[in-house]
Chains A and B, each alone.
Chain A
């Protein structure tokens, strides 16, 4: 495989994402490590959404639902474990856990089931209706979380001690960053493989021309549903990490603001570009901290930037730096 400009750009981005926290570690700046960890996790949430939005053309405005499900999987399991309260006792006892691997598996399964249900309904619509119905489902889950007092309701749920991962001190910022960056790498590698697979070709096809898909005997609905579920699972996985980063999960992870933010990462970075969501999340967080430090209404210039990207740079940051996307 020859190295095109986008590949080189991706390598540079990955190197930067690793180098910045390493330098921060040497300089004794843990806050910057935390920011880089946030970029890795939110970028990963965007990598998930990008599968639906970028490759499948499915503009989900409800991915906060999956992000939050991942977060609550971490919060709920950890709170039961830390309080020594079993989740259920009959017919058999299920206990909480502070093991991230178990939490991730629960997050992946729970989000897959919810995405299967939401997708089976929403994917019968398209365009604006799809956007609105995914939003509506996410809001339903949001209000459910607010009104469910067992897990903190509106106040959310604290994770007193960050969950653990074998052989790693997750409380050490740079170690936790390394873990999140590795998981981001897994998510990116998986989506790179996915889009080049048979399924990826079908997904690209379903985005371009449903009529043609049906004429050659492939039901676009099934392809989209599977993509939606995979997309949700990756975003939920990121959500579990995000809860552990903040050691806190609240309904705000499920809110439509969050859905919008994840979508902004993808659009800013470049829709359907492998590293787009990471570039977008990095830019967003850098802006948030540079502009946010200067004045209160930092989202105003962000809004203008987003407008410029949508109007003039459809390929986002990656498109601007690496040029047009090669065909499919």
Chain B
């Protein structure tokens, strides 16, 4: 069995009396899409923040690419190849769509402290950035301000920025949120191909997308993983039905 690229063991986070993450253990294998589902308030976003390094865990271990990353901050984890998208688009609103991706490209190049050469005529940044925009279907919006594009387009831009980082794993926090059915379908097709590039930990409410994409699903309820398994396992699991699917389906 290949080694997991990302693995959490007994990760816990408590906010006051609220146990946001309760002994969470899960892993992300090379080439897979591992979906993380659960009702609102189950702690999915908190868990993503813990993995991304934005929130420090109270206890437990997070290993990424064969290394304990518990002491690394968000910047260091990103530089190790952990790329996340945000549930609520978090972009540079005053930048053009292209500049948003160029900045990520610049981070990957490792050369931030260059003070003289104009960045927006630097083909070594512009070309790969444009290529990412083309991949997500946003090339024709390249020169628009990020604040002025539609909600769905901002979700696409989030993806383009993550792609530009050339990560070893993606953490996607509800990439379909607020996208129309057409957009969701297109993104589903896109993510399907993306898993070959890097495995994806996918938080998503869109069950059609989850069932279509996931190699494995973990169900989070009140901060606890109550089940992990294939799509069929999860569909047939009584606890899951009771705690989660039963309410919505």
Residues of A within 8 A of B (CB): 193-194, 196-202, 204-205, 208-209, 211-212, 214-219, 222-223, 226, 327-328
Contact = CB atoms under 8 A, between A and B. Distances in A.
User: Which 7 pairs across A and B sit closest by C-beta, in order of nearness?
Assistant: A217-B78, A217-B79, A214-B74, A198-B114, A196-B118, A216-B104, A208-B92
Give the bracket for the number of chain B residues in contact with chain A.
35 or more
Interface of B is mostly: mixed
A202 B95 contact: no
Given A193-B118, A216-B107, 10 more contacts: A197-B116, A197-B117, A198-B111, A198-B122, A204-B94, A205-B103, A209-B93, A215-B52, A215-B86, A216-B161
Contacts of B106: 198, 201-202, 218
B90 A201 contact: no
A214 B120 contact: no
20 contacts: A193-B115, A194-B116, A196-B120, A197-B118, A198-B112, A198-B114, A201-B120, A208-B92, A211-B86, A212-B91, A212-B161, A216-B104, A216-B107, A217-B75, A217-B76, A217-B78, A218-B107, A327-B94, A327-B99, A327-B145
B119 interface: yes
Nearest to B108: A217
A195 to B, nearest CB: 10
Given A197-B119, A216-B78, A202 B112 contact: yes
Contacts of A211: 54, 86, 90
A211 B95 CA distance: 15
Contacts of A201: 99, 102-103, 106, 119-120
Interface of B: 52, 54, 73-76, 78-79, 83-84, 86, 90-96, 99, 102-104, 106-108, 111-120, 122, 125, 145, 161, 165
B175 to A, nearest CB: 14
A218 B165 CA distance: 11
A201 B74 CA distance: 20
Contacts of A218: 75, 103, 106-107, 112
B74 A215 contact: yes
A197 B115 contact: yes
Given A201-B99, A208-B95, A327-B96, A215 B112 contact: no
